[in-house]
Amino acid sequence: MAAVRIPPTLRAEVGGLRELDARGETVGALIDDLVERYPPLAGQLYADGELASFVNVYLGGEDIRTLDGLDTPVDHGETVILLPAMAGGA
């Protein structure tokens, strides 16, 4: 099991929780576990069946895109951080 940190922008979809435990051997499996338990997350994390380009996922402080993407292995006790990009300004 790994911990997944939930940013403020996604907390409404998970009942206000800041961190959740998730099961899976890869980052993709962890995210699938969360989406199965909290279906509203799917619309915030996925676009056309893929992880949305504006969603950054970190494992051990590294962006998973520089690792093996959603296939990045996750060891028991590690922490994954979900961080949707923010836009705005004028």
pTM: 0.89
Q: What would the two tokens of residue 79 be? A: 């922490």
Give the pLDDT score at 84. Answer: 86
42-60 pLDDT per residue, tens: 999 998 888 998 999 999 8
Question: What's the CATH architecture for 2-84?
Answer: Roll (3.10)
Q: What would the two tokens of residue 30 be? A: 């962890």
Residue 14 burial class via C-beta count within 10 angstroms: exposed 0-12, middle 13-18, buried 19 and up: middle
Nearest CA to 58 out of 83, 30, 29, 28 is that of: 83
